[in-house]
Amino acid sequence: MKGRKGNSEIILFYILLIALSLRLYFFVGPNLNDDIYYIKGAYRVSRGDFYPIYYGSINEIRTMVTLPIALSFFLFGVNILTASFYPLLCSLLTIVVVYFLGKLLFNERVGLIAAALLSFFPLDIAYSTQIVPTTPLTLYIFLSLLVFLYADKLKKSKRKNKNILYVLSGVILGLGYLTNILVLISFVFFLVYFFFERKLSSKYFLFALGFILIVLVEFSFMFLKTGNPLQRLIIIHNSEETVETITSLEYYPRVMLKLENINFTAHEGNLGLYFYLFIFSSLFLIGRRQKEFLFLLISFILIMGYLQFGVMTLGFKPIAKWLRYLIMLGPIFSLVISDFIYKAFKKTEIQILAVIIIFLISVPFIIGSVNEYRICVQAFTKEFYVLNKLPEKTIYTDIGSKVFLDFYFSYERDIKSLEIAKLEEINDSYVIIDGSHGIIHYKPMRDKLPDFAKNPPADWVLIESFEASRIEPKIYYVK
């Protein structure tokens, strides 16, 4: 970190290697969020069926989640690694973007420290291989911001290639729009920036043009396929109106602040010490009145204010409280904390020591966060490993297990739902009883099962029974 020419890029490369190693070692893979629905939509697209893009669930119409995974499936086949490649890549690229943002807003050293801090941010690691829109959304938001700020820097130096960068910034943000409608929250950054600049340049309309261009392409596609250019927005609105989500105002304060008697099941501990370090760093830096720091701080306050008190529909339904939304705060936390480390500790050795200490403190939070998500699919992975060793036959299981086993078997096995099965049709097949948490702990799901799926007939042959994530699936063979 001596600042020699080329040294920073080498250090960034090693940071990325460490980040990749951490994400692979703490690999989670597709989980119980909406992962399996993104995967199913991506699989159908990879097979040439574009139906889920223009009609269906809210998950399948998030095209910048579905399409990249579909491309991965098309090129490399359907498996856990190819499903997780896209979010993993987005997570790593966000680290690169944060480095360049730190370099642009502050200096090269701050950029390197920020990249290092984001590389082991517990929440980012936990979600880096799960299929959620927030990880790619975070990349598109901050990449758009980086390109915009760089274009504005060129504007002041009167370089000629700045106009295309403004358009490109808007296009990148448009890709974020195709990822999740929550991208609109990113306009906070630009509004705060305009406030500090205290003037609007005509060049900024090129940024808006880039964004509008992507929106118009999507509207046109929807019109051609459904006759309604607003079809995607209608699906999003209707889904948000009907879905049951956490809206309690105590949710974010609890998950961000609680560090005593942490319950990872309740989403606590996933941020580690980062929020506390961010607050401490902000208190240290605020007296300096540095414009770049204040830009990040005010943006954080406005974004957090919307996540806490905003609405999500035209009916003013309070915005859902999701832990994964806080992934978007990781770059802000990292940049502010790194600026504090740079200004508070002048010696390089002390700065490196500070980063190492934060990493060591973060490790238990990484382990706790990742293990909680791994537990969620433990039963399905064990069912797969047992069945994969047996001769291939039709498999009957509850819908909770079916969707995951379909994916694990690359949609190549005959797997049927017990909910609609009849006893007389099951022969020379495997049957999984108590295969998922929902069937055991959620009465409406269990009530949909036929009696023989709750109390197996005496002539069924038990092949294997095992404990997995606090349930005990049983695999039978039916002659």
**Reduced 3-state DSSP string for 409-459:** CCCCCCEEEHHHCCHHHCCCEEEEECCCHHHHHCHHHHHCCCHHHHCCCCC
**pLDDT score for 160:** 66
Rounded to 5 degrees, what are φ and ψ at 468? -155, 120
Helix axes of 35-46 and 399-408: crossing angle, nearest 10 degrees: 50
**pLDDT score for 157:** 67
Q: Which of 118, 117, 135 is nearest to 30 (CA)?
A: 135
* Segment-wise mean pLDDT, segments of 10 residues, the chain, 479 residues: 69 97 97 90 88 68 93 96 97 98 96 98 98 97 97 74 91 96 93 86 90 95 87 85 84 93 93 97 92 96 96 85 96 98 95 97 97 92 95 95 95 95 95 91 89 93 89 94
**pLDDT score for 50:** 75
pTM: 0.94
Residue 153: HSE in the Cβ half-sphere, 13 Å Cα cutoff: 10
**pLDDT score for 198:** 79
Per the structure block, which two tokens stand in for 226? 């459904």
